[in-house]
């Protein structure tokens, strides 16, 4: 066995203002970062492999003597003082860091093909000399800003959203920093491309557009070997995992293994909107089969061609996964459950919330973002939460999750028992209004909402009977807020609040235009997927986007930067409060109950700070001492995609 060490020479920090606490952490980290094991690593199992598209090199020893090099250390050094240091401090055993293959330096041709380090034409003259790039690039040196201009034109030339999506994925695979710079600089324009709604279509067609494998696939074939699979992932300091089993992708149903687009998309938002460094993010799809007949009969389907495993077989695989994650990455890695079907989503959250740092975005993230919008909307409609009556269409993860968080906040505000305040919240499912006479046949998560009332068969009747001030769609069923339903809301309320949350756009309960038109311009409207502004009777209405993308990136950052070990409901309330506080008078004047995404990094820093502050207050945060200014600290932790200089 032999090894050698190389240094990463990075001069562009792009970050400043770290506290002394960070400096200490930085010193500790930099020692570790300077070491890059060359080859072979711990055992005879050393091999060549594919590392995010670039072949791991078997570098000859004499090559290693060269002084200048770009080593495989990602962003760690530049964001020293950030969350990764928190993570690095409490690693349980060094065993976590043994990789089964050799890690090598990148230079020349390989450097251009490594998305983590590639800068394309932005490599300077000196860098071209030092890193064997002469002749491999045309002579022009073009700065990152100009590359961004070129790329946005490139993406704009495509008319079809899926083509824009593919152009963005292609860029991510080629030049990661340019991808994030582009996404951050044009966030409003590109969010619908890399995320809802286009990501839904991408998942549906994943088999045919699939070019580079992204993320980690864990199928039933890997049962008993999940720790080994995790070790195959090239990055070791993982801080956030987004995992799906693909059974309920957005409102599109069971897309099996092709659901991978969702963890990939969510994690690119963790980086772009929340500043978590890309190498700390791990997208995972658990493949236990699919019940989607179309996919089972599709020769291009990329997943296991069998029907879904359920019961004990499913539970055992998930348990092995949850255990392996904790063993491999320690207990402060955040596991975000995404787009599981109702039956598994609630059970998994319940089972692991006291042993792991877990968060279900569809239940908790959506709840937090909607609560923020409702709190903000009170400025427009007046009253407190307790003065309002809520009616939901859809009683799954999102519906019951939102309902519970509204009840929790109302109960805190009024000191009334939870059971009492729940009575102001009503849910309609596919069988009609949820009422006490249906209690015996209801799934457990619906039971708290079975209030005393005569049976009501449909939404329109429920609106007329319950007379809600707020109507929330979480049904996954498009166009279910009909003209009659919205007109009924408008006849009951001066300013009806209508939230059409199902994704993607095709599943939205109504469009923005319908909401404004059918309420004669009086609705306060927001939707899960974005809608363009609407002109109605000479006035322009700008709909808000009530999407969990406002919450999870900042929420996750807050947990990571404070070393929080469990998610408590009060942390979700803290996130809502911070988001609602970011809505400005100017936004309200336009009828908006969410701030625009253009300021999302600032918003995320405030959410992270409020979440961390609450975690410290509850004794859940382990990073001590608590930083004095948590907003500044959050900002200092954020990844910036500016190119680094290589010496």
Ligand X SMILES: O=C([O-])CC(=O)C(=O)O
Which of ligand X, Mg ion, none lies near 196, with the C-beta cut-off 5 to 8 A by kind? ligand X
Query: Is position 132 annotated as part of the catalytic site?
Result: no
Q: Which is nearer to ligand X, 263 or 591 (CB)?
A: 263
Q: Is 21:627 a contact under the CB 8 Å cutoff?
A: yes
Check binding of 503 to ligand X (CB under 6 A). yes
| 175 in a labelled binding site | no
CB atoms within 10 A of CB 467: 14
Instruction: Mention every residue, 6+ apart, whose C-beta is less than 8 A from residue 614.
Output: 568, 570, 571, 573, 574
Minimum CB distance to ligand X, residue 361 (Å) = 5
> Whose CB is nearest to ligand X?
196
Per DSSP, the residues of 245-309 read: -SSS-TTS---GGGGGHHHHHHHHHHHHTT---GGGEEEEEEE-----HHHHT-TT--S--SPPP
Q: Which is nearer to Mg ion, 529 or 576 (CB)?
A: 529
**164, 236, 266, 326: the active-site residue:** 266
Alpha-carbon separation of residue 56 from 131, 234, 646 (angstroms): 17, 10, 20
Minimum CB distance to Mg ion, residue 361 (Å) = 5
CA distance 107 to 511: 51
| 292 in a labelled binding site | no
Binding mask 522-561 for ligand X (x = CB under 6 A): ------x------------------xx-------------
Burial of 506-519, coded b for 16+ CB within 10 Å and e otherwise, reads ebbbbbbbbbbbbb
**Among the listed residues 163, 301, 288, 148, the one whose alpha carbon sits nearest the alpha carbon of residue 641:** 148
Minimum CB distance to ligand X, residue 324 (Å) = 25
Check binding of 204 to ligand X (CB under 6 A). no
Q: Which is nearer to ligand X, 191 or 435 (CB)?
A: 191
CA distance 91 to 112: 33
| 222 in a labelled binding site | no
Which of Mg ion, ligand X, none lies near 74, with the C-beta cut-off 5 to 8 A by kind? none
Task: Please count the residues of this chain forming the interface with ligand X, following the rule CB under 6 A.
Answer: 9
Query: Is position 266 annotated as part of the catalytic site?
Result: yes
Residues 526-545 interacting with Mg ion (rule: CB under 5 A): none
How far is C-alpha 444 from the chain's CA centre? 27
Query: In the block, which residue shows the tokens 């309902």?
Result: 403
Which of Mg ion, ligand X, none lies near 604, with the C-beta cut-off 5 to 8 A by kind? none
Query: In the block, which residue shows the tokens 């390989």?
Result: 110
Check binding of 196 to ligand X (CB under 6 A). yes
Q: Which is nearer to ligand X, 528 or 641 (CB)?
A: 528
| 362 in a labelled binding site | yes
Alpha-carbon separation of residue 508 from 365, 401, 428, 476 (angstroms): 18, 18, 16, 7
Check binding of 254 to Mg ion (CB under 5 A). no
Check binding of 339 to ligand X (CB under 6 A). yes
| 347 in a labelled binding site | no
Binding mask 432-471 for ligand X (x = CB under 6 A): ----------------------------------------
Minimum CB distance to Mg ion, residue 194 (Å) = 15
CA distance 498 to 451: 22
| 547 in a labelled binding site | yes
Q: Which is nearer to ligand X, 360 or 377 (CB)?
A: 360
Minimum CB distance to ligand X, residue 545 (Å) = 9
Check binding of 245 to ligand X (CB under 6 A). no
Rg of the chain over Cα atoms, rounded to whole angstroms, equals: 25
Q: Is 68:129 a contact under the CB 8 Å cutoff?
A: no
Enumerate the β-bridge partners of residue 217: 285
Q: At what angle do helices 569-581 and 366-381 cross, to 10 degrees?
A: 40
CA distance 319 to 605: 33
Check binding of 500 to ligand X (CB under 6 A). no
Sole binder of ligand X in the list 72, 235, 254, 361 (CB under 6 A): 361
Longest distance between any two alpha carbons in the chain, whole Å: 83
DSSP H helices in 353-500: 366-381, 397-414, 418-421, 459-466, 483-492
Sole binder of Mg ion in the list 72, 222, 362, 509 (CB under 5 A): 362
Minimum CB distance to ligand X, residue 557 (Å) = 18
Which of Mg ion, ligand X, none lies near 85, with the C-beta cut-off 5 to 8 A by kind? none
* HSE (side-chain half, CA atoms, 13 Å) at 379: 19
Q: Is 243 helix (H, G, I), strand (E, B) or coil?
A: strand
Q: Which is nearer to ligand X, 107 or 547 (CB)?
A: 547
Alpha-carbon separation of residue 434 from 216, 474, 492 (angstroms): 40, 15, 21
Binding mask 299-338 for Mg ion (x = CB under 5 A): ---------------------------------------x
Provide the annotated binding site for a divalent metal cation.
338-339, 362
Residues serving a catalytic function are 195, 266
Provide the annotated binding site for (S)-malate.
248, 503, 547
Q: Please give the residue ranges that form the binding site for Mg ion (CB under 5 A).
A: 338-339, 362
Q: Please give the residue ranges that form the binding site for ligand X (CB under 6 A).
A: 196, 250, 339, 361-362, 503, 528, 547-548
């Amino acid at each position: 066995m032999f090894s050698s060490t190389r240094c990463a020479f990075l001069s562009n920090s792009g970050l400043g203002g770290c506290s002394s606490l960070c400096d200490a952490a930085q010193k500790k980290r930099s020692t570790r970062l300077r070491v890059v094991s060359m080859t072979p690593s711990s055992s005879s199992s050393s091999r060549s492999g594919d590392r995010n598209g670039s072949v791991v090199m078997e570098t000859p020893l004499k090559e290693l003597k060269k002084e200048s090099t770009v080593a495989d250390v990602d962003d760690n050094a530049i964001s020293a003082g950030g969350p990764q240091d928190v993570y690095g401090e409490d690693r349980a055993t060094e065993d976590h860091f043994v990789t089964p293959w050799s890690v090598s330096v990148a230079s020349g041709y390989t450097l251009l093909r490594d998305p983590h380090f590639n800068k394309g034409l932005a490599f300077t003259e000196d860098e071209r000399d030092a890193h064997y790039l002469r002749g491999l690039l045309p002579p022009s040196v073009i700065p990152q800003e100009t590359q961004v201009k070129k790329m946005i034109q490139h993406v704009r030339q495509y008319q079809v959203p899926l083509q824009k999506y593919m152009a963005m994925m292609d860029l991510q695979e080629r030049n990661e920093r340019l991808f994030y710079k582009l996404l951050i600089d044009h966030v409003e324009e590109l969010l619908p491309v890399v995320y809802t709604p286009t990501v839904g279509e991408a998942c549906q067609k994943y088999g045919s557009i699939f070019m580079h494998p992204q993320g980690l696939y864990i199928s039933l074939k890997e049962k008993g070997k999940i720790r080994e699979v995790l070790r195959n992932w090239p990055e070791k300091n993982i801080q956030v995992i987004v995992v799906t089993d693909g059974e309920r992708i957005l409102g599109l149903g069971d897309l099996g293994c092709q659901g991978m687009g969702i963890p990939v998309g969510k994690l690119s938002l963790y980086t772009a909107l929340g500043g978590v460094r890309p190498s700390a993010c791990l997208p995972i799809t658990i493949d236990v089969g699919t019940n989607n007949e179309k996919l089972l009969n599709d020769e291009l389907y990329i997943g296991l061609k069998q029907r879904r495993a359920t019961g004990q077989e499913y539970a055992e695989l998930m348990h092995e996964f949850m255990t392996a994650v904790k063993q491999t990455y320690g207990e402060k890695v955040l596991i975000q459950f995404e787009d599981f079907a109702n039956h598994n989503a609630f059970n998994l959250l319940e089972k692991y919330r006291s042993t792991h740092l877990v968060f279900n975005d569809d239940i908790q993230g959506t709840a937090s973002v909607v609560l923020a919008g409702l709190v903000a909307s009170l400025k427009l409609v007046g009253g407190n939460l307790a003065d309002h009556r809520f009616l939901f269409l859809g009683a799954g993860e999102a519906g019951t999750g939102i309902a519970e968080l509204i009840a929790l906040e109302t109960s805190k505000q009024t000191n009334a028992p939870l059971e009492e305040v729940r009575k102001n919240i009503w849910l309609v499912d596919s069988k009609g209004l949820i009422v006490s006479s249906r209690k015996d046949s209801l799934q457990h998560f619906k039971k708290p909402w079975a209030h005393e009332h005569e049976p009501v068969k449909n939404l329109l009747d429920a609106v007329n009977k319950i007379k809600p001030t707020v109507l929330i769609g979480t049904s996954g069923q498009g166009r279910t807020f009909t003209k009659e339903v919205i007109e009924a809301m408008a006849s009951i309320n001066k300013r009806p609040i209508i939230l059409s949350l199902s994704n993607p756009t095709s599943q939205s309960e109504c469009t923005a235009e319908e909401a404004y038109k059918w309420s004669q311009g009086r609705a306060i409207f927001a939707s899960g997927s974005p809608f363009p502004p609407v002109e109605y009777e000479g006035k322009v209405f700008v709909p808000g986007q009530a999407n969990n993308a406002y919450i999870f990136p900042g929420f996750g950052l807050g947990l990571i930067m404070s070393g929080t070990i469990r998610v408590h409901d009060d942390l979700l309330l803290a996130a809502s409060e911070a988001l609602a506080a970011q809505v400005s008078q100017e936004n309200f004047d336009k009828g908006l109950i969410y701030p625009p995404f253009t300021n999302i990094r600032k918003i995320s820093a405030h959410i992270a700070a409020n979440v961390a502050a609450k975690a410290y207050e509850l004794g859940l945060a382990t990073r001590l001492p608590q930083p004095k200014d948590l907003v500044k600290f959050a900002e200092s932790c954020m990844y910036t995609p500016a190119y680094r200089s290589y010496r």
